[in-house]
């Protein structure tokens, strides 16, 4: 571990809490801040560490601050808004933005932070709540190599780090990773529906896919566990998947890359989000495909009307 052992953490949510717990387990003193003061207080009581009453105080207290927040707009406000982290942070501070954010927004924050002597890297994660708890997240880091190396002891307490490139590359890679994951999930569900109508058992289909070239993360870790079981509780929200897919398409559009299949994929996920409403798990996308097919993948459920 490096000399910097006091780490600020903004965002004590479903991911931030277990990630902070991994930092504490690794020997860092976590200084927690959340928009809900009771949440950061509960974290400090249950996991350990400290709390602060303001973002500026967090900046004064810690030379490294991690943000794990819903959107880049919130990150921007937290860092550069009135009384934000940057207003209190000394020169040579480092921001590690682990939000699944908009890369071009993150890039736009750098000049104002650099003017204060503060560096920023982006380091979004893949692996969900389960791997956040075990400290086995895949972390995609973007930024100057020296800044990533400075952040490495902090990041390695939460998972495996890969440098994706310059600032913003981590967030672009995260959005594109989720695009690939979303496409694999959607096509797998449709294949299982076709197979069931033909007479195949969906569980047998998953076993065969996992021994064949159709294998992907969804066939391995989602279909039996969360779809065929009817649990739909993987811990990653449907609306967050739609957000990531929208980011991926915006990155493509800004750079003039046509993405017709990705656009259709995003529309399917957005339709499921509209149908199922706030709070739905992303694996519940299968319910949209089932409704379109008028067929359920679960043995104990009949044809849907």
Q: What is the spatial distance between Cα 65 and Cα 162, in angstroms, rounded to a whole number? A: 20
Residue 91 DSSP SS3: coil
Determine the angle formed by the axes of helices 169-198 and 285-293, rounding to 10 degrees: 30
> What does DSSP assign to residue 228?
I
- At 130 the three-state DSSP class reads helix
265, two tokens: 């994929």
Q: Is 221 a catalytic residue?
A: no
| Residue 263 CB contacts under 8 Å (≥ 6 apart), including other chains | 249
Are 223 and 187 spatial neighbours (Cβ–Cβ below 8 Å)?
A: no
- Spell out the alpha helix ranges (H) of the chain: 16-25, 37-46, 55-61, 72-80, 85-88, 103-115, 128-134, 145-156, 169-198, 202-209, 217-221, 238-254, 260-276, 285-293
Question: Helix 169-198 to helix 238-254 angle, to the nearest 10 degrees?
Answer: 120
Indicate which residue of 73, 91, 160, 174 is catalytic: 174
Q: What is the per-residue DSSP string for 5-29?
A: -EEEEE--STTHHHHHHHHHHTT-E
Catalytic residues: 174
């Amino acid at each position: 571990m490096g000399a910097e052992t006091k780490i600020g953490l903004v965002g004590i949510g479903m991911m931030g809490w277990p990630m902070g717990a991994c930092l504490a387990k690794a020997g860092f003193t976590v200084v927690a801040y959340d928009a809900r003061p009771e949440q950061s207080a509960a974290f400090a009581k249950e996991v350990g560490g400290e709390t602060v009453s303001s973002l500026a105080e967090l900046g004064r207290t810690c030379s490294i601050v991690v943000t794990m927040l819903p959107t880049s707009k919130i990150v921007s406000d937290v860092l550069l808004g009135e009384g934000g982290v940057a207003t209190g942070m000394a020169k040579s501070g480092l921001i590690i933005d682990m939000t699944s954010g908009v890369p071009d927004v993150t890039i736009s924050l750098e000049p104002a932070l650099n003017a204060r002597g503060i560096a920023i890297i982006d380091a979004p994660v893949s692996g969900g709540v389960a791997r956040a708890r075990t400290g086995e997240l895949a972390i995609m880091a973007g930024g100057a190599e020296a800044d990533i190396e400075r952040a490495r002891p902090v990041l390695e307490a939460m998972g495996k780090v890969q440098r994706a490139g310059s600032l913003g590359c981590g967030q672009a890679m995260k959005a594109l990773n989720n695009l690939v994951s979303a496409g694999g999930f959607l096509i797998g569900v449709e294949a299982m529906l076709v197979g069931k109508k033909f007479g195949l058992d969906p569980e047998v289909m998953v076993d065969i896919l996992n021994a064949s070239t159709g294998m992907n993360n969804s066939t391995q870790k989602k279909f039996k566990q969360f779809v065929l079981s009817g649990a739909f509780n993987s811990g990653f929200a449907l609306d967050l998947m739609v957000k990531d897919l929208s980011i991926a398409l915006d990155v493509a559009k800004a750079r003039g890359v046509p993405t017709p299949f990705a656009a259709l994929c995003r529309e399917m996920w957005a339709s499921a989000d509209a149908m199922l409403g706030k709070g739905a798990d992303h694996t519940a996308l299968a319910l949209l495909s089932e409704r379109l097919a008028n067929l359920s993948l679960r043995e104990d459920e009949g044809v849907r009307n």
